[in-house]
Structure 1
Amino acid sequence: MGTVSELWRYPVKSMRGDRVAETAVTERWGLPGDRGWVIRDEDAGELRSAKKWAELLQFHARYVEEPQGDATPTIEIDFPDGSSMRSDDDTVHEALSAALGRRVTLWPRRPVDDHEHYRRRAVDEADLRTQLGLGPDDPFPEYSDMPEDVLTELGYYATPRGTYFDAMPLSLLTSTAMASLQAAVPDAAIDPRRFRKNLIVTHEPGGDGHPEFDWVGRQLAIGEVTCEVVMRISRCRMVTLPQADLPHDRSVLRSLARDNGAEFGVYLRALSPGTIREGDEVRLV
């Protein structure tokens, strides 16, 4: 069905990450270290992402050493003012609080039984519509294809406990889908960084539409790894937000909402662990 052209890992939820040439893939964690850290709003007592705090995308995070398995090693964060600080610096919480203008702390993944750490607080409808990029009359996504256990978790917790994923551990987007979106919004900067997917797959040239949607419910062999394609991903305002050299652009989400019900890319679940490398073939099983 194509080849893996790019692999991306994001050490801190909603901060910018890095492209990697190869990576292990595990059943529970996806790419080791992906979304291994998070910013917590200490006044609200809740985990935060760029859905609510867009400025998080102005920070860039990298691991000081390569993560293995469920480990979340020390990270280094580049701040918007050009300074850098490591997560093991005793003043990192104060520095992040000053940069964000809020009382925050930086956390590695916590155990599944730390319920209060992951707890979702009450959100009013107007705030939720803003986070999802919905207008006052737009319907909320149904998420009917989401696995029941994940949907139940997200009813009570900001992320599935034990992880900082929005929903599932792996995500994929094809070059064909990006090209189709680019054709719909020719003046927009359609770049993989906007969509924060783990795998970018170069599909057959000249195609159009969203071939990955047809893979839902099927299995993919990617390098040494077999994955189940679980569901389409419903996108929110994050795809419109500025980061690095990408400008703020509302047309991206408007086009996705108009043409695809705001769905773009797919979630995967690894069925067998192994290694994925850029250039690996992607085959339907």
Structure 2
Amino acid sequence: MLIGHIKEIVRHPVKSFRGESVKKSKIMEYGLYGDRSHTYLDESKDGDFLTITQFQEMVRYHAKFVGEESIDKYPKVEVVTPEGKVYDWEDQELIKELQNKSNRQISSREYPPSHVPIGPIAVEHILLATDASLDHLKELWGKDEVDIRRFRPNLFISLKDKVPFSEEEWIGRRIKIGSEVEIQLVAYCKRCMIVTVDPDNAERDSSLLKTVVKERKSNFGVYATVIKTGEIQVDDEVHLID
């Protein structure tokens, strides 16, 4: 059954940095190619991942791959700072800047293209959200706009029938994207303070999280696990498999 099409594909080469919107992506066993494959570790917390939760200005750093993608080796990871400076993700000047701003000692870690451990990708392989749910949440919140980047989905789906939160009813079922890829929806996404952080200026507004907690029991979006790998692209049809 046709339920919609892919409106946007977003991967995050560096965990907790702003992601890059891409026209197409390989879907690996772990999710989108290179998604959260590069991380910074907080050495003051036994090497836990440094995230927006501890250092909210991470949302203002934009990471992207530059160059040819390969299963054997990632392209260069380029980072644009809030001030517009461009660095390689392991440039010591960038790391010093992050350390000074976050007041933490950090180190870097890279996971290979063929297999990214589940830790950097949080709960499951892929996070998806729908346009109908986002539009309804905007009404519930009562603000002019809800930026989808606050929720950091990998797949943003435009629904054929604009029924808000219908994706939650798909949990336990599979969807097919394009001609190759199949994923199975497995769990709600429980939201935390990250959604309160404005992706443009890193300022916080707790009212959005309060709305999601009150109206949606903290849920927005659903997690999926990869069943069949392949390649997807923007505008691919999305079918719910009976």
TM-score (norm 1): 0.76
Name whichever structure is richer in strand by fraction: 2
CA distance in structure 2 between the partners assigned to 1:269 and 1:248 by the alignment = 31
CA distance in 2, matches of 1:265, 1:66: 31
Deviation at 1:88, TM superposition (A): 4.7
**Whole-Å separation in 2 of the counterparts to 1:31 and 1:247:** 29
TM superposition shift of 1:180: 1.1
Q: 1:225 aligns with which of 174, 181, 200?
A: 181
Structure 1 unmatched ranges of 5 or more: 112-159
For the structure 1 residues 22 and 161, does the alpha-carbon distance in structure 2 shift closer, same or farther, using more than 3 Å as the test?
closer
Report the 3-state secondary structure (helix = DSSP H, G, I; strand = E; otherwise coil) of the residue aligned with 1:239: helix
Offset at residue 81 of structure 1 (A)? 2.8
Q: CA RMSD in A?
A: 2.2
The alignment status of 1:42 with 2:54, answered yes or no, reads: no
Asked whether the equivalents of residues 60 and 202 of structure 2 are also in contact (C-alpha less than 8 Å), the reply is no
Return the alpha-carbon distance in structure 1 between the equivalents of residues 67 and 83 of structure 2.
Answer: 24
Name the SS of the counterpart of 2:133 in structure 1. helix
The answer to whether the 8 Å contact 1:3/1:282 transfers is yes
Letter in 2 for 1:240: T
| Structure 1 residue 87: Cα displacement | 2.8
Residue pair 1:32, 1:70 contacting (<8 A) in 2 also: no
Contact 1:220 1:226 survives alignment (8 Å): yes
- Output one character per residue of 1:71-116: Cα deviation in whole Å (capped at 9) or x when no partner: 44431112223322113535443343234332212221279xxxxx
| TM-score, normalised relative to structure 2 | 0.88
Among the aligned pairs, what percent are the same residue? 29
SS for the counterpart of 1:279 is: coil
Moved more, 37-46 or 3-12: 37-46
User: 1:58, CA displacement in angstroms?
Assistant: 1.9
Task: Check the 8 A contact 1:2/1:204 in 2, yes or no.
Answer: yes
Pick from 163, 170, 179 the counterpart of residue 215 of structure 1: 170
Q: How does 1:22-33 map to 2 (within 5 A)?
A: 22-28=24-30, 30-33=31-34
Give the residue type in structure 2 aligned to 1:231: A
Structure 1 109/69 Cα, relative in aligned 2: closer, same or farther at 3 Å? same
- Deviation, 1:252, is 1.5
What letter corresponds to residue 218 of structure 1 in structure 2? Answer: R
1:38 Cα shift? 1.0
Q: Which amino acid aligns with 1:233?
A: C
Structure possessing the higher relative contact order (Cα contacts under 8 Å, 6 or more residues apart): 2
Paired residues of 2:175 and 2:183 also in contact (CA < 8 A): yes
Structure 2: unaligned runs, 5 residues or longer: none
Match of 1:189 in 2: 145
